[in-house]
Amino acid sequence: SRETVGRILKMLEDQNLISAHGKTIVVYGTR
């Protein structure tokens, strides 16, 4: 669900794996 995705993104952001700028989400470590 939408809440689950938000929770996962927050968790990743806390781990410095992603940087969320508005609605543009940059995911690091995927390449």
Whether 2 and 9 have beta carbons less than 8 Å apart is answered as: no
CB-facing half-sphere around the CA of 8: CA atoms within 13 A:
7
Amino acid 14: pLDDT: 76
Distance (Å, whole) CA 27 – CA 16: 9
Where exactly are the structural domains of the chain? Answer: 1-31
Q: Is the torsion defined by CA of 8, 14, 15, 17 positive or negative?
A: positive
2-30 tens-digit pLDDT: 788 888 878 877 776 666 555 566 666 66
Amino acid 3: pLDDT: 86
Residue 16 DSSP symbol: T
CATH number of this structure's domain 1-31:
1.10.10.10
